[in-house]
Structure 1
Amino acid sequence: MRTILYLFISLLLIFSIITPVFAQEENQSLELAADAKSAMLMEQDTGKIIFEKNANEKLPPASMVKIMTLLIVMEEIDKGNLKKNEMVRISENASSMGGSQVFLEAGEEMSVEDLIKSVAIASGNDASVALAERISGSEQNFVNRMNEKAIELQLKNTQFKNATGLPAKGQYSTAHDMAIIAKALLQYDDITTYTSIYEDYLRKGKKNEFWLVNTNKLVRFYPGVDGLKTGYTSEAKYCLTATAKKNDMRMITVVMGADTVKKRNHATSEMLDYAFNHYETEQLFDKGEVIKTVPLLKAEKEHIQIVTEHNVRTIYKKEKPYENIKTYIEIDQDLSLPLKKGEQVGVLTVKANNQELSKTPLIVASDIKEASFITLLKRTLGNMSKAR
């Protein structure tokens, strides 16, 4: 009996050691991003991690910090708090930023759209601070907002100290966290209209015209790459969070700590090559597609539309497509009014053969206000008349 017990315990120990190895076997067998300190390969819609290397190692992110800066800018535009054609007056503080810059002058006025281009294409530190000051009043207040957003995205290994990525003690992130921020930014479809531009001009036709040229050369030299953000400092070395789309499948890559631009671009390219050569996706629902219409008696409109927050897809190895795909919808039972556009009210779960593939937030398609007393009275009387 004792011998059988020892054997059972030994088997448990063996399985406890072997099981995680099996789970990571595919990832570990890939020889990608050899010249990077840290790397990540993720599919955009599903969030599936295809490859990672030291993905949770805290490293200086350099100008990849601007992905979070741009995320907050796009959020403010989406909320209507910021307009692309709004003119922003440049402060002395913003104009004094060193490093990568577009040479904004104190007192100059520039549109929000041109400032976004300056950040997305030329990595302008001055443009980043100008946008931060416009949104939050000061760069420090904006940085507080950045760190709050990091908490909201459940990033455990990221801390921001500025809106630019200039060297700062205590500023760090990881390949994993940068991929998550990029995933959030890419929910705003028009961001790639800026990050995909290879060259453009500020103040075109004027004496102080300035040539913008993309710091991410893969936008020009790798088919499908349309973003996202480079980074370099002597401490961080060469970094790049990139994204590419092919056959409706979008990939996100992160490379941190490469010794040269060539090594950084090579690591990015080989991860993208691997993803597009070996994986496919299947679209189940479009972003914003109505999943369910829910009656809500106390709402201004009696029926509210529940939609997907982003595209719902499955991703699979080309030789192993999923079968028996099923979707499950869960809507919160106690919805309290008012509800803001984009507020999560449920979850859409995708499963295949009882294996969970993804969870997608379900949100309200528009602001939902509480019904007035008169509206509720009319609705009640109408329902009473129908009951007769």
Structure 2
Amino acid sequence: MKKGLSMIISIFLLTMLISSPVFAAETKTELASDSKSAILIERDTGEILYDKNSHEKLPPASMTKIMTMILIMEAIEQKKIALNEKVRTSEYAASMGGSQIFLEPGEEMTTEEMLRGIAIGSANDASVAMAEKIAGSEEEFVKMMNKKVSDLGLKDTKFQNVTGLPENDHYSSAYDMAIMAKELLRHEEITKFTGTYESYLRENTDKKFWLVNTNKLVKFYPGVDGLKTGFTSEAKFCLTATAKKNGMRVIAVVFGAPSTKVRNAQVSKMLDYAFAQYVTHPLYKKGQSLGIVKVSKGDTKQINALTNESISVLTKKGEKIEHLKKSVKLKENLKAPIKKGDEIGKLTVKKDGKVIVESKLVSSQDVKQASWWKLFKRSFGMFTKTK
């Protein structure tokens, strides 16, 4: 009998040893079991923490507006538009259906107000009005969107409009949407909009409009401050969310959940998993100078090479950071003109010989071409300099 009992215990222990890894894998895959596709990444490194069909091409619905907001933030950064600049609403923009702030033809709002309408209320009319302001027409703005998709190296996305309203051949993927969210978050000030739960437009008028964030996790999950929901009958319930806790920012994307409740629960589960399992170790802040680059024929002789984003290293909790090798490669023979934000170098971080971070370094300022007179004086000074 003892021999039989011993054999039963041995079989039980062997079963546990065999099944434990499988159980762990199943637990992980259950993070988004009720969605068509999903992904979880750490923002600074872009490292994938969870993946489910992340390259499947699906309708993104209003998550499309993440790219719309990227181009708006770039236009602000490049001083093509200002936050306090008035934007006029065309008849076409005012005719948009779906989520809207009910702009009337000819109505004007500031860029800041339009951005609040887009980020908080998912306003289709404000999205088109901003597209027309920046590019002249929605069609031209869509070309800019698809060019940015190409610039980011994304393969699973094609946009046909700026809103995400249903249209043939308009698609994206969980992976691409996560990378777009990563790009949008380079503009850290965007979370002042996407992280606001409620706000008002047309204040002090009889048409005061209450904005409530379509992303309820902004209110109910600590640390969530964006980014964008999406829903159409074809796309079902979608969400690209970001949260920051203890210095680590993660991005979770869900496509095709059956309900708002399921969508939010699965995103919350992914965020819980990230914060329970991983930790980031900051290396550099965004805008930190990592070198000086000489510029020829410019109105200034040198510029700083700045980090384009915050740089961190990701580890499992309890792991130590060891054997890191950082290298900075700056471009040579730079000639004016140069725009602020132009790539002028690259930062690479390796761990045990493997590249774990690769990020571009950008110009700290605009450099205009120097006038012939300035170049003459500069050359003359070289010849007359005392030895």
**Does the alignment reach a TM-score above 0.5?**
yes
Q: CA deviation at 1:321?
A: 2.4
Q: CA deviation at 1:366?
A: 0.5
1:248 matched to 2:257: no
Q: CA deviation at 1:307?
A: 0.9
Aligned to 1:298: 297
Q: CA deviation at 1:286?
A: 1.0
Check the 8 A contact 1:27/1:51 in 2, yes or no: no
Q: CA deviation at 1:308?
A: 0.9
Distance in structure 2 (CA, Å) of the matches to 1:26 and 1:382? 69
Distance in structure 2 (CA, Å) of the matches to 1:26 and 1:49? 15
Aligned to 1:152: 151
Q: For 1:34-70, what per-residue CA distance to the aligned partner results, in whole angstroms no more than 9, with x for missing partners? A: 1111001111111111111100000000000011111
Count of residue pairs brought into register by the alignment:
365
Q: Any unmatched runs of 5+ in structure 1? A: 1-24
Q: CA deviation at 1:28?
A: 9.3
1:313 matched to 2:312: yes
Distance in structure 1 (CA, Å) of the matches to 2:371 and 2:106? 48
Distance in structure 2 (CA, Å) of the matches to 1:101 and 1:113? 16
Q: For 1:82-135, what per-residue CA distance to the aligned partner results, in whole angstroms no more than 9, with x for missing partners? A: 111111221111111111111111121111111111110011111111111111
Q: Which residues of 2 match residues 70-149 of structure 1 at below 5 A?
A: 70-149=69-148
Q: CA deviation at 1:337?
A: 2.2
Percent of aligned positions that are identical: 51
Check the 8 A contact 1:196/1:227 in 2, yes or no: yes
Distance in structure 1 (CA, Å) of the matches to 2:198 and 2:340? 35
Where 1:296 maps in the other structure, the secondary structure is strand
Aligned to 1:221: 220
Where 2:334 maps in the other structure, the secondary structure is coil
Aligned to 1:378: 377
Check the 8 A contact 1:236/1:257 in 2, yes or no: yes
Q: CA deviation at 1:384?
A: 4.2
Q: CA deviation at 1:359?
A: 0.4
Q: CA deviation at 1:295?
A: 3.0
Where 2:121 maps in the other structure, the secondary structure is coil
Distance in structure 2 (CA, Å) of the matches to 1:30 and 1:278? 15
Q: Which amino acid aligns with 2:293?
A: V
The Cα RMSD (Å) is: 1.8
Distance in structure 1 (CA, Å) of the matches to 2:25 and 2:287? 34
What's the TM-score once normalised by structure 2's chain length? 0.90
Q: Which residues of 2 match residues 345-364 of structure 1 at below 5 A?
A: 345-364=344-363
Q: Which amino acid aligns with 2:56?
A: E
Q: CA deviation at 1:335?
A: 2.0
Check the 8 A contact 2:294/2:333 in 1, yes or no: no
Q: For 1:278-320, what per-residue CA distance to the aligned partner results, in whole angstroms no more than 9, with x for missing partners? A: 1111111111111001233433222221111111111111122
Check the 8 A contact 1:219/1:225 in 2, yes or no: yes
Q: Which residues of 2 match residues 144-293 of structure 1 at below 5 A?
A: 144-293=143-292
After superposition, the Cα gap between the structure-2 partners of 1:137 and 1:107, relative to the gap in structure 1 and judged at 3 Å, is same
Distance in structure 2 (CA, Å) of the matches to 1:250 and 1:383? 50
Q: Which amino acid aligns with 1:332?
A: K
Aligned to 1:63: 62
Q: CA deviation at 1:27?
A: 10
Distance in structure 2 (CA, Å) of the matches to 1:41 and 1:203? 37
Aligned to 1:47: 46
Q: Which amino acid aligns with 1:280?
A: V
Where 2:118 maps in the other structure, the secondary structure is helix
Aligned to 1:11: none
Distance in structure 2 (CA, Å) of the matches to 1:296 and 1:114? 39
Where 2:30 maps in the other structure, the secondary structure is coil
Q: For 1:3-24, what per-residue CA distance to the aligned partner results, in whole angstroms no more than 9, with x for missing partners? A: xxxxxxxxxxxxxxxxxxxxxx
- Of residues 49-58 and 202-211 in structure 1, the stretch that sits farther from structure 2 once superposed is 202-211
Q: Which amino acid aligns with 1:112?
A: T
Q: CA deviation at 1:138?
A: 1.4
Distance in structure 2 (CA, Å) of the matches to 1:376 and 1:108? 50
- Of residues 122-131 and 212-221 in structure 1, the stretch that sits farther from structure 2 once superposed is 122-131
Distance in structure 2 (CA, Å) of the matches to 1:331 and 1:163? 36
